[in-house]
Amino acid sequence: MDFLISAAYAQEAATAPAGNPVMGLLFPIALILIFYFLLIRPQAKRAKEHKKMVEALAKGDEVVTQGGILGRITEVGDNFLGLEIANGVEIRVQKVAVASLMPKGTYRQTEKKTAK
């Protein structure tokens, strides 16, 4: 059958000089460092700041929840807090659902605007 199809023989491998093994590890290490400084470290910092803010919540603070609800804290428990969102309307939300602490007077200003 060799007369129809030429036989394929493996070429002799040229002995290439071996590269520095440290150079082979340089790219993965650099990639890990980039991920750490651009993704992991900032996320951990934000989580730490949020935890500190949630632990410092007190009665009378004005907050916005992750769902966008603005209100004033009326009571603080271990896991939940009471949030007054309108005159006589109070809801209970998880403490971790608080997205940000608002400056004093924000809740009152919006209350006046909606009352008109």
Domain tally, the chain: 2
Structure confidence by residue, pLDDT tens digits, 66-100: 999 999 999 999 999 999 999 889 999 999 999 99
Structure confidence by residue, pLDDT tens digits, 33-63: 999 999 999 999 999 999 999 999 999 999 9
List helix spans (H) across the chain. Answer: 21-35, 41-55, 106-115
Residues 71 and 29 both lie in one domain? no
Which two tokens mark 30?
């650099």
The single-letter code of the amino acid at 91 is: I
pTM above 0.85, yes or no: no
Residue 8 located in a structural domain: no
Q: Please, are residues 74 and 83 in contact by the beta-carbon 8 Å criterion?
A: yes
Q: Check residues 44 and 4 and name the one with the higher pLDDT.
A: 44
Residue 96 located in a structural domain: yes
Residue 2 located in a structural domain: no
- State the residue range of the domain holding 47: 21-56
Average pLDDT over residues 10-33: 75
DSSP string, 13-27: PP-PPPPPHHHHHHH
